[in-house]
Amino acid sequence: MIKIGVLGLQGAVREHVHSIRESGAEAIVVKDKDQLAEIDGLILPGGESTTMRKLIDKYNFMESLKEFARSGKPMFGTCAGLILLAKNIIGYEHPHIGVMDVKVERNSFGRQKDSFEADIPIAGIADDFQAVFIRAPHIVQAGENVEILAKHNEKIVAAREGNILGCSFHPELTDDHRITAYFVNMAKEAKGN
Ligand code: GLN
């Protein structure tokens, strides 16, 4: 069975575990970098990117996460997780993991709309996905190898670059597991079965 890890340092971990199981894969909460060797794909959950970054450093995860992405195993960043994956973050000199060729802006949907839901089409995944946005970032600019999967109000909110998938919203917070299932499938394909 395909094993999908969820980085378990902070954030919406349990909901992702549920969604992975509903998608027919085994879920592993990753709290130690040695666990990365056991999994076929890794989800970086939503939460608070600055806090998550501190914990990544504290538990000495950074090099192993970069290595994981370089190895070609799929990584999926949701919300804060997308910020961790981006090569550029507006207002920051340096990225965090920095493996996806996108520029992101944090908290970019305005204060009055800190949280909202929108039904959006996601290319190749869903015609109508109920996307839950919570103090969400968006992709301001995407490199030429980045495939744009979804936009909301002209802003890019889901994209894929090879083995890296990212979205602004929280796909684990509804009963619709199509994005998680898509990611499980990416891990299956990368594994070659
Ligand atoms: N605003 C958070 C950040 O910048 C992300 C919010 C989320 O993951 N729901 O890290």
Protein residue closest via CA to atom 5 of ligand 1:
80
Interior/surface letters 36-49, b for 16+ CB within 10 angstroms, e for the rest: beebbbbbbbbbeb
173 in helix, strand or coil? helix
Question: Rounded distance, CA 166 to CA 111, Å?
Answer: 23
Q: If you compute the radius of gyration of the chain from its CA atoms, what whole number of angstroms results?
A: 15
> How far is ligand 1, taken at its centre, from the CA of residue 10, in Å?
11
Nearest Cα residue to 75 out of 42, 38, 121, 108 = 42
Catalytic residue flag (residue 79): yes
Catalytic residue flag (residue 170): yes
Q: Calculate the average pLDDT of the chain.
A: 96
Question: Rounded distance, CA 80 to CA 65, Å?
Answer: 15
Whether pLDDT at 193 is above 80: no
Q: Is 100 exposed, middle or buried (0-12, 13-18, 19+ CB in 10 A)?
A: buried
ipTM: 0.95
Q: Whole domain around residue 25: which residue ranges?
A: 3-191
> How far is ligand 1, taken at its centre, from the CA of residue 106, in Å?
7
Annotated catalytic residue, options 16, 138, 170, 177: 170
Helix and strand numbers, DSSP H then E, in the chain: 5, 12
Q: Is 53 annotated as a binding residue?
A: no
Region 105-118 average pLDDT: 84
Give the pLDDT band of residue 33 (cuts 50, 70, 90). Answer: very high
Whether pLDDT at 114 is above 60: yes
Region 16-41 average pLDDT: 98
Annotated catalytic residue, options 16, 79, 105, 167: 79
Q: pTM of the full predicted structure?
A: 0.97
Angular region, 123: left φ>0, alpha ψ -120 to 50, beta rest: beta
Whether pLDDT at 39 is above 70: yes
Whether pLDDT at 65 is above 60: yes
Domains held by the chain: number: 1
Question: Rounded distance, CA 125 to CA 121, Å?
Answer: 8
- CATH number of the domain to which 110 belongs: 3.40.50.880
Q: What percent of the chain has pLDDT over 70?
A: 98
Region 62-73 average pLDDT: 97
Whether pLDDT at 147 is above 80: yes
Whether pLDDT at 98 is above 60: yes
Half-sphere exposure of 49 (CA within 13 A, CB side): 25
Amino acid at the residue 50: T
Weakest-pLDDT range from 97-111, 117-131, 163-177: 97-111
